[in-house]
Amino acid sequence: MIHQDNIAVLDDGPSVAEKRKDSENLQAGNILYIKDSEIPIEEFIYFAKLSRARELSSSSQAGHITASTNATSSGGDAVDQSVKESGGGMAPLNCGEVGHLSRVESKKKSTPEAFALLDISEGEWTQASRAARTATWVSIFYLITTDVLGPFSTGYAFSQMGLAPGVVLYTVFGALAGYSGFLLWRLFLQLDSDEHPLRGYSDLALRIYGPWFQHVCNILQSFQFFLTVMVIMITNGQSISQLSQNKLCFIISVLISALAGCLIGQIRTLKNLGWVGSVSVFLNLFVIFATMGVMAHSPPNYILYATTHPEFDIQAPDPISVSITAPPELTLVDNVNGLMNAVFSFGGATMFVELMAEMRRPMDFWKGLLCADLLIFLCYMVYGIYCYVMQGQYAYINSYQGISPYNWQTVCNAIELLTNVIAAVLYANIGMKVLYNSVGRHFFRIPDLNSASGKWIWTFFVPVYWMLAWVVALSVPQITSWTVLVGAGALLQFTYTFPVFLALGFRAQRDSALPEEVFDPLHHRVERVDHGLKRWVRGLRKELWWNIFDGVIYVGSLVTCVLGLYAGFKTLVEGYIDSPSLVGWQCSSPTG
């Protein structure tokens, strides 16, 4: 059984007061999710089959696919085919015939009076559940590219790993990121439905492993977004310092970024920022091409390099050097720091479930994912190699701050200041909503965000969140260390560790089903023959080689996580000891 708190079915029937409240919610246009504490995974799979069949039917042309009613009443072939495409070990469980079932039938008994006041037909339920799903795979390609594309640290990553290891590791991590996205897509197809819609990464965790893993994902996601906001805040502070030619106190520079976030962050919904996010992609492309042109005709920013290397002589800099293998003067910690920047580059899987939840046809997600991954990989590879060849060991983690002409520094910093504020507001908005719903509402029973009280709480919550990020950012203003820690502690998990972990858990439960264990859609239950560890062993043995492959990725991701956290904390401590400009709460800027 999967313990589920926020998506389930009816018990013996709601009270009159509950039915009246549900009726009022329906009249107000709210989508209702009938609640229960336990849902077997077979139910999620069953209704996912129905939803995939509806999607195929609704998009059929010239009789290529049968009509929706035929697909859901004759049961079997069309439904199984809808989710039994290229599997990678993710073929669906055969839960028996797919029958025509109203979602408001009781879990324990079929009583029409249990929901008499609502009188929701299956068609109305489906239409309400899918009303907000309008995105196409083309828009998903654009959104993934917007979220992930940002190659400004790739030159620095290559300078820490060397040219050949950098190419190999970026290729491997890019391919594994694509594979993880494929796994999340297959899981989504087999667990999401109009009756039980998936809304986020933690919903997927809940349905496979239960509330404990949902809480892990929510906490880690909040941690990731908070630290990402903080990294962006430090980056913006450095941009403002360079714009002022380091005449403005760094504390004030970061405070300006925080205050901007406090003001713009009062927007609770992000739809009004959508067009601005679109513009930011083209602004980033301009900065990419501008920095490439400047690097070809000017030396690196030696002053910036000296801030993190106190022994460096600006008056007699060493010539630019490019190492084919790992640079001999660097340590394993430096190599791992570069690797974590590669992880940071491909860390977009955190949002994949949310993106699929907005799609009219989630089965098409792979098209947007494949195109986006190929484009991002090519951009990162070309830009990273170019920056490393042009600047060598002097490549900085923010490439547009590592160019020496002040005029071009100003242009690029001004543009990236705007795009970074937009990105920080987006991440902060999502991070605050995760905290609000998963912690505030779950543990402290605070009001709904859309209520009058919830809006007031949000108004006060926003400045607290941004000011806390400002305090932490100024206490440890080391952008390289924080980038490594975010990559190892959060992005690595959501992009590489968790997808294979979720796939293993799903296969173990799905493939452990015996022939006599058939899901009863009328009563929403399945009678299982046995329980416990032997079911998991039986399930994992069915597709053994896929599970071994995913298990190897899982163990490798955990090892990489430990190495990354070690490298991040060691770099952070050494920065305090060796680089006076990286000490917290001082006016001098880390940019020199």
Confidence check: pLDDT of 3 > 70: no
Q: How far apart are CA 176 and CA 339, in angstroms?
A: 14
Q: Do 145 and 124 share a domain, yes or no?
A: no
Same structural domain, 460 and 314: yes
Mean pLDDT, residues 415-428 taken together: 86
> 346 and 251, same structural domain?
yes
Give the SS3 label for residue 65: coil
First to last CA, the chain: 58
Within-domain flag for 544: no
400 and 436 together in one domain: yes
At 404, which CATH number?
1.20.1730.10
121 and 266 inside one domain: no
User: pLDDT band at residue 132, thresholds of 50, 70 and 90?
Assistant: low
pLDDT beyond 70 at 560: yes
- For 493-525, what is each residue's pLDDT tens digit? 999 999 999 999 999 999 998 888 888 888 888
- Asked whether residue 219 falls in the same domain as residue 142, the answer is yes
Task: Output the CA angle 243-292-145, nearest 5 degrees.
Answer: 90
116-122 long-range contacts, Cβ below 8 Å, gap at least 24?
Answer: 116/19, 117/19, 117/20, 117/22, 117/23, 118/19, 118/22, 118/23, 118/26, 118/32, 120/26, 120/32
Looking at 131, 164, 198, the residue that finishes a domain is 131
- Helix (H) or strand (E) run with residue 3 in it: strand 2-3
In a domain, 165, yes or no: yes
- The whole-number pLDDT of residue 532 equals 84
Give the span between the Cα atoms of 331 and 337, in whole angstroms: 10
At a CB cut-off of 8 Å and minimum separation 6, what does 199 contact? 353, 354, 357
pLDDT at site 97: 39
Six-digit token pair at 407? 């005029």
Predicted pLDDT at 95: 42
Which range has the worst mean pLDDT, 187-191, 203-207, 285-289, 345-349? 345-349
pLDDT digits (tens, 9 = 90+) for 209-219: 999 999 899 98
Q: Is 171 within a domain?
A: yes
User: What gap in Å lies between CA 434 and CA 427, rounded to an integer?
Assistant: 11
Choice among 67-71, 174-178, 284-288, 543-547 with the minimum mean pLDDT: 67-71
Q: How far apart are CA 94 and CA 513, in angstroms?
A: 9
- Structural domain of residue 249, as residue ranges? 137-506+550-582
Q: Which two tokens stand for residue 550?
A: 């995913």
User: Are residue 126 and residue 141 in the same domain, yes or no?
Assistant: no
In the chain, the percentage of residues whose pLDDT exceeds 90 is 45
Give the residue among 292, 289, 286 at the shortest CA–CA distance from 414: 286
What pLDDT, on the 0 to 100 scale, is given for residue 129? 57
CA distance 384 to 379: 8
Do 367 and 442 reside in the same domain of the chain? yes
Q: Which DSSP state fits 148?
A: H
Query: Measuring CA to CA, how many Å separate 456 from each of 76, 431, 448?
Result: 51, 18, 11
Which residues are registered as beta bridge partners of 520? 525
Residues 144, 205 within the same domain: yes
Position 197 in a domain: yes
DSSP 184-235: HHHHHHHH--SSS---SHHHHHHHHH-HHHHHHHHHHHHHHHHHHHHHHHHH
Q: What is the pLDDT of residue 272?
A: 55
Tokens of 367: 């098209």
pLDDT surpasses 60 at 23? no
87-96, 339-348, 582-591: which range is least confident on average? 87-96
Residue 591 forms part of a structural domain: no
Predicted confidence at residue 44, as pLDDT, reads 93
Position 80 confidence tier, pLDDT thresholds 50, 70, 90? very low
Tell me the C-alpha distance between 84 and 53, whole Å.
11
Q: What is the mean pLDDT of residues 175-194?
A: 95
Q: How far apart are CA 262 and CA 466, in angstroms?
A: 6
Mean pLDDT to the nearest integer, 418-442: 84
Could you say which DSSP state residue 32 is in? Answer: P
What total number of domains does the chain contain? 2
Mean pLDDT value across residues 307-326? 90
* Average pLDDT estimate for 419-436: 84
Q: Residue 24: what pLDDT? A: 42
Average pLDDT over the chain, rounded to an integer: 80
Residues 471-487 have pLDDT tens digits of 999 998 888 888 889 98
Are 141 and 367 within 8 A, CB to CB? yes
- Measured from the Cβ of residue 30, the count of other Cβ atoms closer than 10 Å reads 12
Q: Give the separation between CA 76 and CA 80, rounded to whole angstroms.
A: 6
Q: Does 124 share its domain with 217?
A: no
Residue 277 has pLDDT above 80, yes or no: no
The answer on 142 and 125 residing in a single domain is no
Q: Do 237 and 123 belong to one domain?
A: no
Q: Above 50 in pLDDT, residue 223?
A: yes
592 belongs to a structural domain: no
Q: Is the pLDDT confidence value at 234 over 90?
A: yes
Is residue 89 in some structural domain?
A: no
What is the token pair recorded at 50?
A: 């129905």
Model confidence band, residue 69 (pLDDT cutoffs 50, 70, 90): very low
Fill in the amino acid letter for 326.
A
**Predicted confidence band of residue 99 (pLDDT cuts 50, 70, 90):** very low
Q: Choose between 550 and 16: higher pLDDT.
A: 550
β-strand partners of 300: 403
In a domain, 539, yes or no: no
As to burial, measured by CB atoms within 10 angstroms (0-12 exposed, 13-18 middle, 19+ buried), residue 325 is exposed
Query: Residue 84: which pLDDT band, with cuts at 50, 70 and 90?
Result: very low
Average pLDDT over residues 70-74: 43
In whole angstroms, how far apart are CA 56 and each of 199, 238, 541? Answer: 21, 51, 32
Contact 508, 187 (CB under 8 A): no
Q: Structure pTM?
A: 0.80
